[in-house]
Amino acid sequence: MKSDQLPVNEYATYYTGYIQALENVELIEELEICVHEFIKFVQNIPMDKFDYRYAEGKWTIKDIIQHLIDAERIFSYRALRISRNDKTPLPGFDENFYVDNTNANDRSIQDLLTELAVVRQSTLSLYKSFTQEQLARLGTASDKEVSVRAIGFIIIGHQKHHQKIFEERYL
How far is residue 144's CA from residue 28's CA, in Å, rounded to a whole number? 24
**What is the identity of the amino acid at 13?**
T
Phi, psi angles (nearest 5°) of residue 131:
-80, 170
CATH number of the domain encompassing residue 131: 1.20.120.450
Mean pLDDT of the chain: 97
Residue range 46-101, pLDDT digits in tens: 999 999 999 999 999 999 999 999 999 999 999 999 999 999 999 999 999 999 99
> What does the pLDDT average to over 104-111?
97
In total, how many domains does the chain have? 1
Say what the pLDDT of residue 101 is. Answer: 97
Neighbours of 49 (CB within 10 A): 16
Region of 85 please: left (phi>0), alpha (psi -120 to 50) or beta: left
Say what the pLDDT of residue 137 is. Answer: 98
140 three-state secondary structure: strand
How far is residue 118's CA from residue 96's CA, in Å, rounded to a whole number? 23
**What is the identity of the amino acid at 130?**
F
139 three-state secondary structure: strand
Share above pLDDT 90 across residues of the chain, in percent, rounded to a whole number = 100
> What does the pLDDT average to over 120-146?
98
Say what the pLDDT of residue 46 is. Answer: 96
Assign 3 a pLDDT band (cuts: 50, 70, 90): very high
Domain range spanning residue 65? 3-52+59-170
Neighbours of 82 (CB within 10 A): 25
Say what the pLDDT of residue 134 is. Answer: 98
Residue range 69-80, pLDDT digits in tens: 999 999 999 999
